A and B are shown apart, each in its own frame.
Chain A
């Protein structure tokens, strides 16, 4: 039995960062990379399944679509007990949007044929919240987003889960396997990866693949395989806040004036 986990090396920003010269991203010097927080939880959930059912062998495989700077995130996963790590990349993948990333992840999933595919609900940097579910779209597998509790016995045909809905509601579901699940924070308590653990994990291999190895054509990847393209990244100008006084009619009038001023109409 196998669980495949999508991993992202997410970026936090140092204070006082600068925008890159082309205006489409932040200058790399200011990156503080770390494993995406949601992925810590999905990995932990997989590890718990593995450890709770010691009698059935469970293979936990992590995969990321990123250049080698993401190896550190994979190492952290290996340090926490993942069995294998796969990284897919070449230059043609530069500029991929969540859908292009998902296409690549789905291609890996086809190759690996896991019983469960986990992704985080979202990434802590771009926060699209799209990748996991897009993978399900490519694969045509059962899927569920924002999973807050999971009950699965390795080898079972079904997975039982609870997912969070808006407004404090929960929903309980059963899905047939294989299934794609996006995992929510708080589902468990992620374990600590000690630095020594990470150093030892440095000796474990990371399988590196090119898009061609998983059956992707060049126009499946990068900007040509994407629906979205980053045009500009910038810090929004600080705006003043203002409380509009008077009755509703007066407030509406004042608001209309502000809109007119802002749009220049």
Chain B
């Protein structure tokens, strides 16, 4: 029904606020309302003060593009539906339900307290009022429905990622117990559900109370849920007199709860309404790909105290909603390591809340992030991280764990608090420029095994400079792959060369270890070697080198156009410079290397290549952005995993083995080849399927050896 052409004045169709309230009750309500707003404002002030105790963040850019991507992410809930679609949709229902209801309340307040009182303007009546009611009803259903799903999820479905079990603490540690969080979660849900439902009861009670007034009763179906409640309450025997009392009671509890919620927002998990939004807006497009550079002239590096963090990182700590997605994705956690990215964030949050929330900043010892005390992060936890970025990638609210972990490791490196083997490796790299401790002069030695000379890019100009990397240069198994790539480029007629002993370890993993000084040294030495060579573009078979040259060398003055071999070769095939001669016809699965896939979104080229050479690709459950790290990242390739626990690579082999009829486990990273060939043996799947480097399969399918024979004949 509409009011058009109706008999009554549209102004009659409205809700009279505080109808029949004695004036002291109205005043009391305002008093409580102002108190709630006061509490909210003070809480916000306290939080902002806490964040501002961090240092400025040079990487935060407030421009249109950043703000837009943040708002789009929030509006679409894109980040929330990933890998947990139902929870994401339920959150969307809550978000929009809450948002609309909040806006509705604001519209009423605006009219009642401002426009009508100051300017005599009324708008909340008539058609607008009716549509408003309907919208509020839909929003209420959306809110309550979403909340009920969340309750079912917490109470019955109980996904393990929500159980708050901590891998980084013994059960008797004082901060092991997370029942406070659990209580808060349930309280938050219940408060919201009660606010939602009591709103409907209130509407129903009002309808019964004023049922004799057509301007109320006749439009009851504009609030269908309210009407439904009215019929229900009536059926339960509620008459107009009882409705007055019920209305009064519910009015106050609804109002009191709503105001309580507002007053509590900055003090509880509800603050994520704000922190998550800001976190998404200021997200860094390359959080783990491009680690922070140490500002010129800064002597102390790394994070030791909470106040070393940037304001944005302190805000991240509060943005975390404990959704557990990062906890679930983390390879260190999955294989029983003492690390959960969620708990790193929550520990530091607890520390920040106990140390930075008061009017004065306490002495430094209370701000220390490292250690085994309450809210601190232990060095075992930090060293367990493989900087695979799975956590950052999946976090729905853009928490950036990796830079925090690496910054904390920088402090550990300065203290020398690390595995002795890692220490040895770093010294070796410093001395010889590679992690194998081999002589620099032997870096290009693998090229001697080829039937054609490989150009020295330092001595003659080349079109393509091949940055080979440590593993591809020195590891005997990977040297074969390097030779295969050289033959392939040779066959395609590419004019390429390498830097021989002018090349050093690219530094990607050293930087992720936290040895920033050594990284700077390596990056600068490679950049100057590359700059003194004459070439047009760079190619590499090593995703680690690829990442740092592409994303991090520019910060040190090295701008190079670089490609990973997968996209490079794909283009050669597409351009017809290489032809697939043989369809391999294998049933394969593909392992996305962290630094190619998640870090640099190189998901498609390797898949296209596999298709081109006639392989049937069966994806593992954890693929592409959810690819499971081989365990070698962040310098962990130099530190043995503890004995007796499953290694990430072994875990991955089990996953691959569950594919029916799998023949080849395809990799496209030197470290992956090493890690998985080893894991294949130790897991006993040898003979069931093989681990192969995509390059070697390409060589077979392109029949390069044949071409080679012709060339050399």
Contacts and interface: CB of A to CB of B under 8 A. Distances in A.
A15 interface: yes
Contacts of A194: 413-414, 416, 515, 517-518
A129 interface: no
Interface string A156-199: 00000000000000000000000000000000010111111111
B517 A199 contact: yes
A233 B442 CA distance: 25
| Most chain B Cβ neighbours within 10 Å, of A193, A196, A198 | A196
A223 interface: no
Interface string A1-30: 000000000001011100000000000000
A200 interface: yes
Contacts of B423: 192
A34 interface: yes
Contacts of A12: 431
A16 B439 contact: yes
A32 interface: yes
A73 B416 CA distance: 18
B299 A195 contact: no
Given A15-B439, A197-B414, A192 B426 contact: yes
Given A14-B439, A16-B441, A200-B299, A192 B517 contact: no
Contact of A196 (B431, B439, B516): B516
Contacts of B430: 195
B280 to A, nearest CB: 34
A197 B432 CA distance: 19
A12 B420 CA distance: 21
A189 B419 CA distance: 11
Contacts of B182: none
A196 to B, nearest CB: 3
A51 to B, nearest CB: 12
B78 interface: no
B418 A14 contact: no
A61 B54 CA distance: 38
A164 to B, nearest CB: 21
A15 B442 contact: yes
B608 interface: no
Contacts of A191: 416
B230 interface: no
A192 B416 contact: yes
A170 B558 CA distance: 57
Given A194-B414, A196-B516, A34 B301 contact: no
Contacts of B515: 194-195
Contacts of B420: 189
Contacts of A199: 517
B416 A196 contact: no
Interface in B424-480: 426-427, 430-432, 438-442
A194 B517 CA distance: 7
Contacts of B581: none
Contacts of A32: 431-432
A191 B518 CA distance: 16
B431 A195 contact: no
B608 to A, nearest CB: 41
A195 B518 contact: yes
A41 to B, nearest CB: 14
A34 B441 contact: no
A34 B439 CA distance: 15
Interface in B403-425: 413-414, 416, 418, 420, 423
Nearest to B440: A14
Contacts of A198: 517
B521 interface: yes
B520 interface: yes
A199 B301 CA distance: 13
Contacts of B427: 34, 192
Interface in A192-219: 192-200
Contacts of A193: 416
B529 to A, nearest CB: 18
B442 A196 contact: no
A34 B429 CA distance: 13
A19 to B, nearest CB: 17
A197 B413 CA distance: 10
A184 to B, nearest CB: 18
Nearest to B430: A195
A15 B445 CA distance: 13
Contacts of A15: 438-439, 441-442
A196 B301 contact: yes
B416 A14 contact: no
Nearest to A197: B414
Contacts of A192: 413, 416, 418, 423, 426-427
Contacts of B517: 194-199
Contacts of A196: 294, 301, 414, 516-517, 520
B381 to A, nearest CB: 20
Interface in B579-602: none
Contacts of B521: 195
A35 B303 CA distance: 29
A199 B430 CA distance: 13
A199 B439 CA distance: 24
Interface in A79-128: none
Contacts of B438: 15
Contact of A14 (B426, B441, B518): B441
| Most chain A Cβ neighbours within 10 Å, of B416, B423, B426, B515 | B416
A14 B437 CA distance: 10
Interface in B97-148: none
Contacts of A195: 430, 515-518, 520-521
A16 B520 CA distance: 30
Nearest to B521: A195
Interface in B48-106: none
Nearest to A196: B517
Nearest to B442: A15
A195 B414 CA distance: 9
Contacts of A200: 299
Nearest to B420: A189
Interface in B491-540: 515-518, 520-521
Contacts of A16: 439, 441
A34 B431 CA distance: 8
A98 B418 CA distance: 36
Interface string A243-262: 00000000000000000000
Contacts of B441: 14-16
A113 B391 CA distance: 57
Nearest to B299: A200
Interface string B273-303: 0000000000000000000001000010100
| Most chain A Cβ neighbours within 10 Å, of B299, B439, B518 | B439
A124 to B, nearest CB: 13
Contacts of B414: 194, 196-197
| Most chain B Cβ neighbours within 10 Å, of A34, A193, A194, A197 | A194
B410 to A, nearest CB: 9
A29 to B, nearest CB: 10
B308 to A, nearest CB: 15
A27 B431 CA distance: 18
11 contacts: A14-B440, A16-B441, A32-B431, A32-B432, A34-B427, A192-B413, A194-B413, A194-B518, A195-B517, A195-B521, A197-B517
In order of increasing CB-CB distance, the 10 nearest A-B pairs are A195-B517, A196-B517, A192-B416, A191-B416, A195-B518, A15-B439, A14-B439, A192-B423, A194-B517, A194-B414
Interface of B: 294, 299, 301, 413-414, 416, 418, 420, 423, 426-427, 430-432, 438-442, 515-518, 520-521
Given A195-B517, A196-B520, 19 more contacts: A12-B431, A14-B439, A15-B442, A16-B439, A32-B431, A34-B427, A34-B431, A191-B416, A192-B416, A192-B418, A192-B426, A192-B427, A193-B416, A194-B414, A195-B430, A195-B516, A197-B414, A197-B517, A198-B517
Interface of A: 12, 14-16, 32, 34, 189, 191-200
